[in-house]
Structure 1
Amino acid sequence: MAGLAAAAQALEACTWQAVPWPSFQMRRPRVEGTSAAFLCRCAGEIAARVDLEALQESLLRTPGIAFAHVVDQACTPDGAAEILARAREARVRGAVLAACSCCALRQVCASCTLQRVRCKTALGLLGREGLPPAGTGGTEEPLAWEMVNLREACAWPEGEDRARATWKAERLVLAGLAALMAREGCTLEVPGMRATVGILGRGPAGDVAERLLKRLGFGVWRTGRRLLSVEGAWGGLRAWVGDGGRPFPLEAPWLLLAPATRAEERSMEKAARASEALDRQPGIVVCDPRLGPQVSGAAAVARVVGAWRPDAVWSGRLAFVRPSFCRACGTCREVCPYQAVGWHEGQDGRPHALVDPLRCRGCGLCVAACPNGAMAAVQGTDRELWSTLEALLA
């Protein structure tokens, strides 16, 4: 919490300003044609136990692989630049990176090390730093990635058995290639979002948050009226407030709860359903009244600012709709706990379900419940899993 507060206070000294999000599309093309394989020496950690040159020669004889290339360290700027340059030259649409990174998702988890985060960042999979996001493959289409971990899965556990480590490495690379080629292309429509935050409550942390938010360019409204309920989800929240009279709604993409007491905090959390799990309401942030107002208010602002990036919604763990399969039965809307599924009228005038990427948390309930096979996961589909298993067991 103190780290978040320090990050928010540091923003006061920079020139960053919040701007509204325009609506835009996130495209994930289907990988067609051939792909590339990049093998990382990992500063000797992998190369000492896996015969990368023999693996490279074997992969070059594999259908579907345009070329295989060995790099010293994929997690360095020079290594990433070398990888993307070779991919552009060959004009491939997909690539498998065999190094120490576990996945190509746009997220950081407990298993991520500094090197893994640095590798994803340099390849454009995290944020906008480093090289152009996700490469281009020589065209405007993004370069699709699959990553396999040769260090922990092959090099370290096999010890001095170099032949077995190399055999395992080849199976993993081929499994990554199979998953890559089995991906289904999709386009996600991301709605626009106003740079507005609503603050509810009279707690002193709200004063700190309001000052910081205005300094950073956010529009802010604030009310001390009692919170009765919250509708919607991140990007389109509606707070119903009132003090005994007729309740009225206040709308904002984000809601910041600033209670003055612990009892008021419990009342607010119950009204906002935030006490169940804040992950289910990612647009709602609570200022803990047990902490000092400077820390609590600034930490809440840091959470808002940290998510104020349109590219942050893309993690790969999202759902999308195949319109031609959808019968508009409404099952997906009924089972979604995040209110992420709406309706969209297609070009033929027939309605079909539409997933809001800002609200979807990738739980997969809609995919499992859809009776028509219209809902699908962006990544980790049944087809990908079966293709991966078949490649591993071949």
Structure 2
Amino acid sequence: LLDWKIELSNGRYDYDVFQRAGWEPRSVDYSKYRTLIWSDGHDKSLTRLEKLNLTDFVMNGTVSEKSNLIIGSQEMVRENTNVEDADEVFVRNILRAEYRFPGNPLGANQDYSGKTLTGVAIGRNLIFDVLSTNVEGDMYPQPALMNIVESGDGLSQMAFRYNKVQNDEWPDIARIAGVTSSNLYSNVVYLGLDWRHFGDIEKVVRGAFDYATGNGGIIIPVDLLSFDARQVGSRVDVNWSTASEQNTARFEVERADVTNTGTSSYVKIDEMSAAGNSSVIKHYGPVVDNKVSYGNTYSYRLKTLDRDGSHSYSDEQIVTMTGLSGAAWLGNASPNPASNDSKVSYRMSESGSVRISMYDASGKEVAVLFDGTQSIGEHTLNISAGNYASGTYTLVLQSGNIHLTTPLTIVK
């Protein structure tokens, strides 16, 4: 069962391992998930409630949020055929597959280890190895042979093709190793081999994900992967990322003041156009908030607006503005490189003496740009870059025991 979360510095998949044995059978509900990867027990037919839960999951999809069911099972077609009507209905209507004699590409109970499959709808033209686990007591692979059920909504296709069968003259319709089906509301991938017998399971899963995504079943919901607001000197930078988007119109960054008496109303400080529809990770920002002050605390949130007029909010991010040693901050020179004039901002969280000098690459002081007492707040220093030779310089701010530096390149 897949969901997705990512931090800017540490991307990862998050998923739930849903062990049915730990739940009261009638309480199981998969509808909160978008994608379900199913692994069944060896030589076990599905229970009535398992079939009901899987059917409900598939039927719960919508045009905008399709359900994706991915199953790896060599027994599901064999063990759920002619057991009772409901079993065969599930296999035919949901998996869109049916038993084909002799049920195994090499004949009943034959070992398929060391053989290969070729991708058709899944991992097209890729070769997939079939292997035994070599675990004592674990049965060798006995993959399922099946037919495709053409009737029903949407399109059904061969997922894999067996490269080795009982009779080398068998056509492709007698070599079907899995079925994919897609309609307006769901994508179903049924693979006729247990997961543990695939030589490269990652390649199989990626192929299944590609199939689902290519047929409108975005594996990752329209979710905010991350939303981050953090102090950078005297400003706050806001960044965010999305895993996918459906019909998004724009994003608005909102800020509120946080004090001992509570949080003020949020106000929009900026907005950015959204991708609209995307199934890949998108990064946004930074939105730069310069209208903040040292010592104050702010709350930021992201408002996502869709084309249909709906909107949602992210979690809040709290930022408390602090200065280096509580006294001063020096920004970056702009423009940089400079040919004529440049300027640099600095901020004092308390009044005091300030000296700003410029040093060349050899460490020689070439100019004192400011030397005096400065009040609390932000100040801007203009630099006549045209008065100095081309080269790389360092601006140094001194205030008490604090020494801050920022580079400046001058070009003529």
Q: Which is higher, the Rg of structure 1 or of structure 2?
A: 2
TM-score (norm 2): 0.22
Name the structure, 1 or 2, with higher relative contact order (CA <8 Å, separation 6+).
1
Structure with the bigger percentage of strand: 2
TM-score (norm 1): 0.22
